[in-house]
A = this chain, B = another copy of it.
Amino acid sequence: MPRVVVDVMPKPEILDPQGKAVLGALPRLGFTGVTDVRQGKRFELEVEGDDGDELLARVRSMAETLLSNPVIEDFEVHVEEHSVAEVAHEAGRA
């Protein structure tokens, strides 16, 4: 069953208080060299059906209707083999 990822980010012209808070907190923790941080959302969907254009079009429609506010957010949809949990597990972190 395909895993489809929807990434939703605040549009570049929209102020992002959460990203700004992270950016402001990094230096005190000893992290330098980061010049910008934006915070958005990531959805991992398990979807029945073939992993093709029709499925992506269907998820894009969900993203427009329910997962994002198109006035203030951009989104991107793609199929992804491994979930973040699987990647973290591989790396010995989970």
Contacts and interface: CB of A to CB of B under 8 A. Distances in A.
Categorize the interface residue count of chain A: 35 or more
Contacts of A93: 70, 74-75
Contact of A94 (B11, B61, B87, B94): B11
A46 interface: yes
Mostly, the A contact residues are mixed
A79 to B, nearest CB: 14
Contact of A72 (B12, B14, B25, B27): B14
B36 A46 contact: yes
Interface of A: 1, 7-9, 11-12, 14-29, 31, 33-49, 58, 61-62, 65-72, 74-76, 83-85, 87-89, 91, 93-94
